[in-house]
Amino acid sequence: MNQFKHLLQPLQLGALTLNNRVVMAPMTRSRASDDDLVSDLHVDYYRQRASAGMIITEGVHPSIDGKGYCRTPGIYNKDQILAWRRVTDAVHQRGGTIVCQIMHCGRVGSPLNKDPKAETVAPSAIRCRDQIFTEQGMQDMPTPRALTSAEISEVIEQYRQATENAFAAGFDGVELHGTSGYLPAQFLSTGTNQRTDEYGGSLDNRLRFVLEVLQAMSSVLGAERVGLRICPGNPFNDLQDDDPRQTFSALLEKISEMQLAYLHVIRMPAAGLDNIALAQEHFRGPLIVNDSYDAAEADQVLAEAGIAAVSFGRKYIANPDLVERFASGGPLNKLDASTLYTPGPKGFTDYPTL
């Protein structure tokens, strides 16, 4: 009998059906083409991992302005929809479930990584003081242009349209990327949002953008196909908030009323918060938890802590058949970190199965 009986049980998250509770976490892999298209490589990569209870894709930008990193895919035009359809078909042919993570990077990016017509926009004109990788090496990030109120409505519509495009591409659901210093986190945080209109200032105003984006995404096929990923207190990409506990407590109370498919929470003890306890206290809905779990710990939290599923990142890069390895007690491949973001199949589609 397998020792990980909870991890391998099926699960229903809203309208999403999972064959097990092993979720593939979203991970940037930087293999898209110059026109932000996924390719045969992505078809193979995601097909190989389709035994996951659910795959959450790498971050996919909803517009040319939303792109931040080099070689990341989009879902804002017809060619991209058709390219992603080949990925979702491949996953579904193996009985899998796949969700598209929608990621607008906001002020995080470089003109060297973007379409020449693209802008770098954010809630406020406050530069990210970190550097970002480009094909020309590490670069400082530019000062973004602050969005006008009317443009914020346009960006929210881009999220809604990207959600519609994702379903046209065959995805089972969508996930809003709400952490890592990207646009939703920039609106939430006091250090990046210094607006004085209805999208800034008070806590309620800082929450408004994320709530309106989730409502827009939910308007397409229902909230039961929409998830949100958060990591309160995460300082990545020069993000700072005066009181992340207060910010996220208020956000989670409000989104609990939406009946989303799930909340995806990254535990980050170094940030000084117990993110999972915070989510359990303020969010009434299914939780997926993430960050450095092994199979035994994952099975234990599913048994004891009221968690719905556990997502795995680095283990899924190196082990396309991670579920089968957990089920059989087989050894895990070692990750080659030098190929995380390099073009081509090496370190992407060439990890062996059992």
Cα–Cα distance for residue pair 213/40, rounded to 1 Å: 31
Which position has the token pair 């949100």? Answer: 228
Which position has the token pair 């939406």? Answer: 258
φ, ψ for residue 85, nearest 5 deg: -60, -35
**Count of CB atoms situated within 10 Å of the CB of 158:** 21
Q: For residues 54 and 24, is the Cβ–Cβ distance under 8 A?
A: yes
What's the angle, vertex CA 240, arms to CA 239 and CA 242, rounded to 5?
Answer: 160
Our answer to whether residue 182 is catalytic in this structure is yes
φ, ψ for residue 91, nearest 5 deg: -65, -45
Cα–Cα distance for residue pair 63/77, rounded to 1 Å: 9
Name the residue among 16, 14, 108 with its Cα closest to residue 61: 108
Cα–Cα distance for residue pair 106/144, rounded to 1 Å: 8
Cα–Cα distance for residue pair 231/246, rounded to 1 Å: 13
Helices (H), the chain: 40-48, 78-93, 149-168, 183-188, 203-221, 244-255, 275-282, 295-304, 314-318, 322-328
| Residue tagged active-site, from 45, 46, 159, 182 | 182
CA distances from 320 to 205, 315, 323 (A): 42, 8, 8
DSSP 243-270: -HHHHHHHHHHHHGGGT-SEEEEE--GG
Active centre residues (catalytic): 182
